């Protein structure tokens, strides 16, 4: 059992948990993930490690209650326990040698972009962190991202915080202003990552994306995170989750991800129905 040391609601559907998992904290690196099960009957949930502290043995995870299992996870109290918490899994991000980087996060992807930016900043790199959200109400980790970057650029779709713009617009302006980046790291919705890659392609800037959102089982056996990279079949959970974004067939990956929406909605409806029955009793 793994104790939830701290719990914080970041916005209406996003929760931060700090979990006591010293065996994971000792070895994890930015870009890797864990797999948890809420209880003995629960499904496996892969979540990217948002932060870690090797001294205290703490692992931070940030997640949205997007389905029945993550909803169940969000209902656990501070001081409660998670049944299984396994990791670190996946290949760590390759950050060595990068001196100037633009890190682009979109929505919940900022929770994964943050540890990348933090690691680079602590290594002495110059980091432009571009964080995009639909609105102020959905903004997370603003103070943490500011402390983990040389410059933080916050944009929102409606202009309620920072600048009203798209992350790709800010990125192009920074490149055109003469910023010579060793790499661009993009983490967020697949459509956002696709257009970040299209923005950097004409400039020949190495662009790394995280395909963590496609993972289900986390071991490569289920095949759900299968994707095409440079004409070859890869699996996000064992070969990634980081890949060269210029080589990914994003359209194929987006079609594959959409296949599970109906099952996710059905599972959430069943969970809510069971909750309602409990409340009636």
Q: Are residues 164 and 264 in the same domain?
A: no
164, 138 Cβ separation under 8 angstroms = no
Domain-located, residue 94: no
Domain-located, residue 95: no
pLDDT of residue 217: 66
Q: Are strands 81-82 and 2-11 parallel, antiparallel or unpaired?
A: antiparallel
10: burial class by Cβ within 10 Å (0-12, 13-18, 19+)? middle
Cis-peptide into 107, omega within 30 deg: no
Q: Look at the chain and report how many structural domains it folds into.
A: 3
pLDDT in tens, 39-70: 998 888 899 999 999 999 999 999 988 888 88
Q: Are residues 129 and 171 in the same domain?
A: yes
Structural domain ending residue among the three candidates 40, 63, 89: 89
CATH number, domain containing residue 119: 3.40.50.80
pLDDT in tens, 150-209: 999 999 988 888 789 999 999 999 999 999 999 999 999 999 999 999 999 999 999 999
Q: How many CA atoms lie within 13 A of 275 on its CB side?
A: 10
pLDDT in tens, 200-252: 999 999 999 998 777 776 666 777 778 889 999 888 888 888 999 999 998 88
CA-to-CA distance for 237 and 181, rounded, in angstroms?
27
CA 179 centroid distance within chain: 26
pLDDT of residue 207: 96
Closest CA to 93 of 74, 66, 120: 120
As a whole number of Å, the end-to-end CA separation of the chain is 29
Read off the tokens for 27: 């070895």
Q: Are residues 197 and 229 in the same domain?
A: no
pTM of the model: 0.85
Average pLDDT, integer, range 65-94: 91
Read off the tokens for 263: 């099952």
CA 8 centroid distance within chain: 17
Contacts of 164 by beta carbon, 8 Å cutoff, 6+ apart: 155, 156, 157, 158
Q: Are residues 184 and 123 in the same domain?
A: yes
* Domain of residue 61, residue span: 2-89
Domain-located, residue 139: yes
């Amino acid at each position: 059992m793994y104790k939830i040391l701290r719990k914080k609601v970041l916005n209406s559907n996003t929760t931060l948990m700090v979990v006591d998992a010293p065996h994971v904290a000792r070895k994890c690196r930015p870009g890797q993930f864990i797999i948890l099960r809420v209880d003995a009957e629960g499904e496996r949930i892969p979540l990217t490690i948002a932060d870690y502290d090797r001294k205290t043995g703490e692992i931070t995870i940030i997640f949205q209650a997007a389905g029945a299992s993550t909803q169940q996870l969000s209902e656990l109290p501070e001081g409660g326990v998670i049944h299984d918490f396994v990791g670190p899994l996946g290949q760590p991000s390759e950050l060595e040698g990068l001196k100037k980087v633009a890190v682009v996060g979109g929505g919940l992807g900022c929770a994964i972009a943050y540890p990348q930016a933090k690691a680079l900043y602590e290594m002495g790199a110059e980091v432009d962190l571009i964080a995009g959200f639909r609105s102020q109400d959905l903004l997370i980790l603003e103070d943490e991202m500011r402390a983990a970057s040389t410059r933080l650029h916050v944009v929102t779709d409606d202009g309620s915080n920072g600048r009203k713009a798209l992350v790709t617009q800010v990125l192009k302006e920074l490149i055109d202003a003469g910023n010579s980046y060793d790499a661009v790291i993009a983490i967020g919705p697949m459509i956002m990552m696709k257009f970040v890659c299209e923005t950097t392609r004409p400039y020949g800037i190495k662009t790394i994306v995280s395909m963590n959102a496609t993972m289900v089982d986390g071991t490569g056996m289920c095949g759900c995170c299968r994707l095409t990279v440079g004409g070859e079949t890869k699996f996000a959970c064992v070969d990634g989750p980081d890949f060269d974004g210029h080589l990914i067939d994003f359209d194929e990956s987006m079609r594959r991800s959409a296949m599970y929406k109906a099952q996710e909605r059905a599972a959430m409806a069943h969970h809510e129905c069971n909750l309602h029955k409990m409340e009636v009793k």
